[in-house]
């Protein structure tokens, strides 16, 4: 039996949402659903003679407006740039037959988050081989000094 999302979840498009409304601030990036998800920088807020949000593409270009209630605007999530291992011990779950490597996820806005990279047996073997190759390439680059 497949699980279906409940209609009140925002991702399901239900009328009743549990997420807080998004009210962008000046300079924020926002995704405009009325423009096929186009991303823009908020350059003017509703109020003081304006009845809408004003946005423009991040690199410049033609401005557009969005309703003052922000219903078509959503936040732009930061993108992952890379992950690095944490200096913590790895884990192995014999029942699930997978290993876990603690990592730090780095985002393009400078933020980070800790997570766990889960590896199944075939991935463990592959990465064992690949890390060995990296070490061999490093040794070759250093002229076999290690």
Residue 91 sits in the same domain as residue 44: no
Q: How many domains does the chain have?
A: 2
Please indicate, yes or no, whether residues 68 and 84 belong to a single structural domain of this protein.
no
> What is d(CA 40, CA 49) in angstroms, rounded to the nearest whole number?
21
Tokens 């200096």 belong to 87
Residue 129 φ then ψ, to 5°: -65, -45
pTM for the model: 0.59
The answer to whether residue 42 sits within a structural domain is yes
Q: What is the pLDDT at residue 7? A: 39
What's the pLDDT tens digit per position in 61-94?
A: 999 999 988 889 999 989 999 999 999 999 999 9
Instruction: Please report which confidence band the pLDDT of residue 36 belongs to, taking 50, 70 and 90 as the band edges.
Output: very high
Q: Which residues contact 103 (CB under 8 A, 6 or more apart)?
A: 83, 84, 85, 86, 114, 115, 116, 117
Is the domain of 114 the same as that of 86?
yes
Q: 93-112, pLDDT tens digit by residue? A: 999 999 999 999 999 889 99
CA distances from 11 to 5, 115, 146 (A): 8, 24, 53
Range of the domain at 103: 80-141
* Angstrom distances, CA of residue 53 to CA of 46, 68, 80: 5, 6, 28
CA dist 85 to 46, 98, 142, Å? Answer: 44, 17, 23
């Amino acid at each position: 039996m497949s699980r279906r999302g409940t209609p009140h979840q925002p991702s399901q498009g239900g009328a009743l949402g549990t997420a807080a409304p998004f009210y962008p601030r000046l300079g924020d990036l926002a995704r405009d659903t009325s423009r096929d998800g186009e991303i823009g920088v908020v350059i003017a807020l509703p109020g003081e003679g304006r009845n809408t949000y004003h946005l423009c593409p991040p690199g410049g270009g033609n401005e557009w407006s969005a309703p003052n209630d922000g219903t078509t605007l959503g936040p732009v999530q930061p993108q992952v740039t890379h992950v690095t291992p944490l200096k913590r011990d790895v884990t192995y779950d014999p029942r699930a037959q997978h290993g876990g490597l603690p990592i730090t996820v780095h985002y393009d806005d400078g933020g980070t988050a800790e997570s766990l990279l889960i590896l199944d047996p075939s991935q463990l073997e592959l990465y064992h081989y690949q890390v060995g190759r990296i070490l061999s390439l490093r040794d070759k680059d250093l002229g076999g000094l290690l």
